[in-house]
Chain A
Amino acid sequence: KNEVEQSPQNLTAQEGEFITINCSYSVGISALHWLQQHPGGGIVSLFMLSSGKKKHGRLIATINIQEKHSSLHITASHPRDSAVYICALYNAGNMLTFGGGTRLMVKP
């Protein structure tokens, strides 16, 4: 079983919809990264969090350490949000362990 599981693997939404991407993990962590990767390949760090909730623009990330679960929400989704969203954990060695990614497509 992977240490990091993301769901769904693929998601198609209509513009304006509220989107939730989930990340569950099975190990102790010091922090969790949400990353965005566009088709061109570059990866952008969206959030790093170790507790609670963070918000940046239309993006909200939450984490529940006790339940070993994090969510990334996108409000008022837009076609430019189409990308792969990756959850990555800082493990005991402080190295990133990546989830398999969620491929999001937002249609106009």
Chain B
Amino acid sequence: DTEVTQTPKHLVMGMTNKKSLKCEQHMGHRAMYWYKQKAKKPPELMFVYSYEKLSINESVPSRFSPECPNSSLLNLHLHALQPEDSALYLCASSQGQGTYTQYFGPGTRLTVL
């Protein structure tokens, strides 16, 4: 099983809403990543978890809050987002943090009204 799943596929939320994005993998990978991708741009790294601990936070605003409840799950909690946060949010995982192949999920397309 080389699949990373993400839910929901699409999400529309208002600026006062609280929502969560979920990511799951069952490959035994110990590194998980959140990326943000705007239209026609490459992905931008947001967070990296390694062995369920936050390893990298690329100066992301606090309205994005990651959580790694166990080695298979990665959440991204959203609160008080802005319209400019509308983007495709991609989750990825790899065997470890380093030069390992990253496996990407299908993404959640988020629209903030």
Q: Report which A residues bind B (CB closer than 8 A).
A: 30-31, 33, 35, 40-45, 48, 50, 86, 88, 90, 94-96, 98-101
Contacts and interface: CB of A to CB of B under 8 A. Distances in A.
B98 interface: yes
Nearest to B2: A45
A33 B104 contact: no
Interface in B82-108: 88, 90, 92, 97-107
B99 A42 contact: no
A40 to B, nearest CB: 7
Count chain A CB atoms within 10 A of each CB in B56, B92, B98 and give the residue with the most.
B98
Interface of A is mostly: strand
Query: For the side of the interface on B, what is the size category?
Result: 20 to 34
Interface of B is mostly: loop
Given A42-B104, A45-B102, A45-B103, A86 B48 contact: no
Contact of B48 (A40, A50, A95, A100): A95
Given A41-B107, A42-B105, A95 B45 contact: yes
B42 interface: yes
B99 A30 contact: yes
11 contacts: A43-B43, A43-B90, A43-B107, A44-B104, A48-B99, A48-B101, A86-B42, A88-B42, A90-B98, A95-B45, A98-B43
